Chain A
Amino acid sequence: MKTFPHALWAFVVSTSVAAQTLINGTGATFPYPIYSRWFSEYNKLHPEIRINYQPIGSGGAIRQLAFGTVDFGASDQPMTDAQLAKARIKPLHFPAVLGAIVVTYNVPEVKGELKLTPEALAGMFLGKIRKWNDPEIARANPETKLPAADIVVVHRSDGSGTTYVWTDYLAKTNAEWKSRVGSGTAVNWPTGLGAKGNDGVAGLVKQTPYSIGYVELTYAIQNKMPYARVRNAAGEFVRPELATVTAAAAGAAANMPDDFRVSITNAPGKQAYPISSFTWLLIPERIQDPAKRKALIDFLRWMLGPGQKMAEPLSYAPLPAPVVAKELKAISRIQ
């Protein structure tokens, strides 16, 4: 019995000698599947580095990072100037992958794919377009016979990056939406029912005839839900898929600001799907611990290289090459 504590002691010492660099991060739930994949793959390549990620939401992440209780954060929306000014620890924004929001619907009469204009989408979500056979919807779908049924709008009830991207898109394409509702993770909806999470919206749309809602592309693909083509800034009706989402980022890359804080909704380009968005890693500009600094920098390089190839199987769109090149340069700003 007496030898046991010694053995235990030796075990404790030996593990603490071969100390792992433990990095704690917290943030958005939308990129959680790809992040957890990345962090576990990276740990297999570099067993001495363990990155721990808690998907608590962008709001909590921005707050925790500002107080320095985590090593990095992740957010579905870029931090505002006011938030950056207030933060004790200044983070840099690094786009990690791309996501998109699709418009899903339940109209029993419609078997094929609907085409929707930004005016139709804003009209429905403002409560101004109330019937499915409204001329604004019918004009874009001449081959489809639309019913005269009342539209039931379903939106997210929980605050989410998905809602931020969706309302950001509506605000960009519709002046009335911009002045009456605006954009944010949670807004004052003019009409419709709220449901919690992508699964909640999907469930309510499936349950409610003549309803329309918005969910993440990844979620819609995995659950084989119907979704609409949306008219983009170039006037094309574009089907949401990984290629058209990456095209949106490529279209926006030309005017990319140096801090990457940019919305790519309604991006230019014939192929661009208009309701696309980056999701960002928030890395502190100054990292005191040299081991952590090196680990995070190495990880970012890996993420922008081999890491991007893991995005597609998980239904995330990879970053376009010009954005990757620009980010690789920006890594040197981490001190």
Chain B
Amino acid sequence: MGSRVATIEHLPRAKTPRTFFRRLRAGDHIAWAITALAAAAVLAITLLLVWELYSSSALARTKFGWSFLIGRTWDPVAGEFGALPFLYGTVVTSALALAMAVPLGVGAAIFLAELAPPRISDGLTFIVELLAAVPSVIYGLLGIFVLAPLMRRAGAPYGVGIMTAAVVLAIMILPFIVSISREALLSVPREQREAALALGATRWEATWQVVVPYARLGIFGSVFLALARALGETMAVTMVIGNTPQIGASLLEPGYSIAAVIANEFTEAVEDLHLSALIELGLVLFGLTLVLNALARLLIVMTKRKGAEQ
């Protein structure tokens, strides 16, 4: 700011220096207005989205009420709709994917940020970021043609199913966890490490007991982003989950997810109630994301307090 004001003061022949200067001071207000407008637009879009989902699903909401959430039948012909198998599929595939991807991803990030020589670290990071740019349909194809036959050999009755979807999701969210966690670890001030080492910690102790806790928030952030990605992933999941609205006894059995059923049935939903039920599923997915995000925030607050107590 200071430098910009200085150059303007040194402008040799501004035609109307006074109004120009005044307008510039008003610039603060203009900037405030523009950025506030941008922030308000984000809020407005979100509210509009919720309102649209809420109002368009009126038919299904009034017909089924809260029992929509625990209904297990999805019958577009008879007009009976329940969301439970889809909720189950969405939550379980995402949870399993996180369980697989978080240890792997954070482990890789620690290695890349702390332990690997810079040249290897840069190369590997480039490859990891490349993975994030692969379209999801490619992961889906990989799932069908490579993973599903492997799963069938491993004992899954059909090859496709909840577990197969979870593995594909885990591979898809891994780059996000690695990339963002690595950035978080790299932004830990050098003094933190040096202090720990000076106190006699080994390299691993310094990393695990000082650097990782310091970068905790960034690592959590990467996990939440990965979770959001997993919850909403559509294409790859629908290709490998088996698309069967049931709650199977085994994780190897086929299932269905909310995003997948919306993508599958939306275009040809001819009956109004069917369409309305699909939109209500969208609302449920939004709600689920909200609840999980709130839980995540709570987790952060709790770990922060714990850190302060120590």
Contact = CB atoms under 8 A, between A and B. Distances in A.
Interface of A: 56-60, 62, 77, 83, 152, 157-161, 181-189, 192-196, 200, 203-204, 207-208
Given A193-B160, A204-B160, A207-B148, A187 B75 contact: yes
B158 A200 contact: no
- Closest CB pairs A-B (n = 4): A194-B243, A159-B268, A57-B267, A157-B243
Interface string B244-279: 110000000010100010011111111000110000
A194 B242 CA distance: 5
Interface of B: 73-78, 80, 144-145, 148-149, 152, 158-160, 238-239, 242-245, 254, 256, 260, 263-270, 274-275
Contact of A182 (B78, B145, B267): B78
A200 B140 CA distance: 11
Contacts of A207: 144-145, 148-149, 159
Given A159-B268, A161-B268, A186-B269, A193 B158 contact: yes
A208 B159 contact: yes
Nearest to A189: B244
B76 A188 contact: yes
Given A57-B268, A188-B78, A200-B239, 19 more contacts: A59-B267, A62-B270, A152-B158, A157-B238, A157-B264, A159-B76, A182-B78, A185-B270, A186-B265, A186-B269, A188-B74, A188-B76, A188-B77, A192-B244, A193-B242, A194-B244, A195-B239, A207-B148, A207-B149
Contacts of A60: 267
Nearest to A83: B270
Contacts of B243: 157, 193-196
Contacts of B74: 188
Nearest to A152: B158
A158 B264 contact: yes
B278 to A, nearest CB: 10
A88 to B, nearest CB: 15
Contacts of A192: 244
B161 to A, nearest CB: 9
A128 B14 CA distance: 89
B141 to A, nearest CB: 9
A268 to B, nearest CB: 26
23 contacts: A59-B267, A59-B268, A59-B275, A152-B158, A157-B264, A160-B268, A185-B76, A185-B270, A186-B268, A188-B80, A189-B244, A193-B158, A193-B254, A195-B243, A196-B239, A196-B243, A196-B264, A200-B239, A204-B144, A207-B144, A207-B148, A207-B159, A208-B158
Contact of B77 (A59, A181, A208): A181
Contacts of A189: 244
A183 B158 contact: no
A131 to B, nearest CB: 15
A158 B269 contact: no
